[in-house]
Chains A and B, each alone.
Chain A
Amino acid sequence: MSIVGGPRLASSLARTEQRTRISRAWRAWRTWRGWVFVLPLLLVNVIIIVVPAALSVYYSFTDWRGFGQAHLVGLDNYLRLASDPDFISAFVHNIVWMVYFLAIPIPIGLAGAFLLLRIRRWRTLFQLIFFAPYVIASVITSQIWKNLIDPNYGLGSFFGFNLLGDYNLALPTIATINMWAWWGFLVVVFFGAMQAINPELYEAAQIDGAGVFAMFWSIMLPGIRPTLMFLGLMTIIWSFLAFDYVYILTRGGPAGASDVLATLLYRDAFSAAEVGYASAVGVVLGAISAVIVGLWLVLRRLRKWDI
């Protein structure tokens, strides 16, 4: 090479090489520079979500008590969960909670939205009123209802019941109080989804002689299926995370009658100093959520729900 071209060619080759190196770096920068804008999100998510989630998984395999040395204990915490009557009863309560929230607020939400669709005036006003309880803090909602059903002052004194102190009624009562704050949200979301359905479908059905309820079953429900499905799955996830109302109203009592996984976790972590065991409960909760979200993502892709 040096014989034919001499030093001039060599230096020009070097320059080209340098230029391609620069342009490669430049191209990499052009491709990746967007991550600069993502960095703050990454940073705060790593600190608050990713690392704590990973630590929780790690703690769940240890006997850590929040202080001192942590020892790896393998699957001990999980084996203990499987035979812990408190865990099993809390888990059952979460299932009851889930069934309640699938069976009661969703039909109320659908009915409310359908009724709104059939009126022509004051739709905005009705939606505002229904939605209002949703923006009220759980601490206040609890106080509102504690008053209303108080065994000494409220409805309880007339009917002689103590709903929150009753072993069988405490859990459904708490669920009902939470439901009061929730159903109006569903009305507004379902109403929004129903409005997006093409009106011509109903007109065609009407020409075919379909009644209002036939329209509801055969046009409305299929029309809002993605929304319904999504909120159904979210209801299942949230049912396993229920915490605020139980903690504020009964702390899981009386005698564990309203204990759910989240209050159990909280007690184990902060009162009983059983961090390892509490973490195992947390990992179970996380796994339930992750599986359901994963299911939703797969369904969405398989069924081509373009959203």
Chain B
Amino acid sequence: MGHLVPSGATPSRIDRSEAARLETGIPAGGIGSYLALTLLVLFAMGPIILFVFNSLKTNSELAINPLGPPLQPRWSNFIDAWVGANLAAGFLNSALIVSGTILGTCFVAIGAAYAMARLRVPGSAALLIYLIIGSALPTQLFITPIFYLWVKVNLYNTQIGLIIIYIGLFSPFATLLLRSFLMGIPVEYEEAARVDGAGDWQVLWHIVLPQAWPGIVSIALVSGLAAYDEFLYAVTFLQDTDKLPVSIALYSFQTSTYMRNQVLVNAAGVLMMVPVLVFFLLVQRRLVAGLTAGGLVA
């Protein structure tokens, strides 16, 4: 049975040090390639830069100068947006939801991936197929039943309720990813430890976990980002304004304020976007490796 994600260590797709990989055998393209790529850079970055510009204007300046840099940057927009969109609570709630999701997803995925990759449990082929199908099923299929179930057990409109949902939704993919990572780790240390009398738990704790660290970081980053950006379940399952994560705080600010005060909505959006972009630059290698793992089947 093959697996969804590549066996072996999650490959680092963006890797400066692999000088050997630079030579791909294709003739170099010259200046034309750089020009075409620069156009793509403009397409990717232009809207983001303009968005930052438009968060620093006044509404009246936006009307006459929508596509240029701000004439007089109004930094106070960020303060007004911070207060107006209730972003302090939003970031706190997001931090709580994201860290809960990461902890839970990692806990669930580590155990299952370890069992599937190492313990040769009967039925693990069926489990694998379930995980592949489970990670591709539409989340819309579950939302109504979970909603009524959560109302019944008082998990509706609670952050822990949302965290449990995220763990459930993200765990199939995280398990698949970590399983393939574990399969790429040599078993010799584990066998040696078992000869010395170590049990499953000791092997997991002392031998596997320290080696699986990069894979665990990958699934933590992927599930954390997914929880930070998620929209459908967050907008459905949280009601009270003081419980909303920053994405939904921004969304309600958008729907309530957009017509009257567009620059403030932009400023709130920039405040939510900047941490993710900075974070992305800091951990890009691991994050990209994790996010693209599902697509790398070659």
Contact = CB atoms under 8 A, between A and B. Distances in A.
Q: What class of interface size applies to chain A in its complex with B?
A: 35 or more
Contacts of A240: 138
Interface string B102-115: 00100111011011
Contacts of A95: none
B231 A244 contact: yes
Of the candidates A114, A118, A142, A265, the one having the most CB atoms from chain B within 10 angstroms of its own CB is: A118
B91 interface: no
Interface in B282-298: 284, 287-288, 291-292, 294-298
A247 to B, nearest CB: 8
B29 A119 contact: yes
A252 interface: no
A137 B232 contact: no
A132 B280 contact: yes
A196 B18 CA distance: 13
Of the candidates B139, B140, B265, B269, the one having the most CB atoms from chain A within 10 angstroms of its own CB is: B140
B254 A143 contact: yes
A113 to B, nearest CB: 11
B134 interface: yes
Interface residues of B, number: 113
Interface in A113-135: 114-120, 123-124, 126-135
Contacts of B248: 139
Contacts of A144: 47-48, 50-51, 269
Contact of B119 (A33, A143, A155, A290): A33
A117 B115 contact: no
A49 B228 contact: no
Nearest to B231: A244
Of the candidates B26, B29, B109, the one having the most CB atoms from chain A within 10 angstroms of its own CB is: B26
Given A206-B25, A240-B138, 6 more contacts: A44-B164, A117-B26, A118-B29, A131-B288, A153-B66, A188-B288
24 contacts: A34-B120, A38-B112, A38-B121, A38-B127, A45-B171, A48-B142, A49-B169, A56-B141, A112-B37, A115-B29, A117-B24, A127-B14, A131-B280, A132-B44, A132-B277, A153-B262, A189-B296, A192-B13, A227-B296, A240-B138, A244-B232, A262-B138, A266-B140, A293-B132
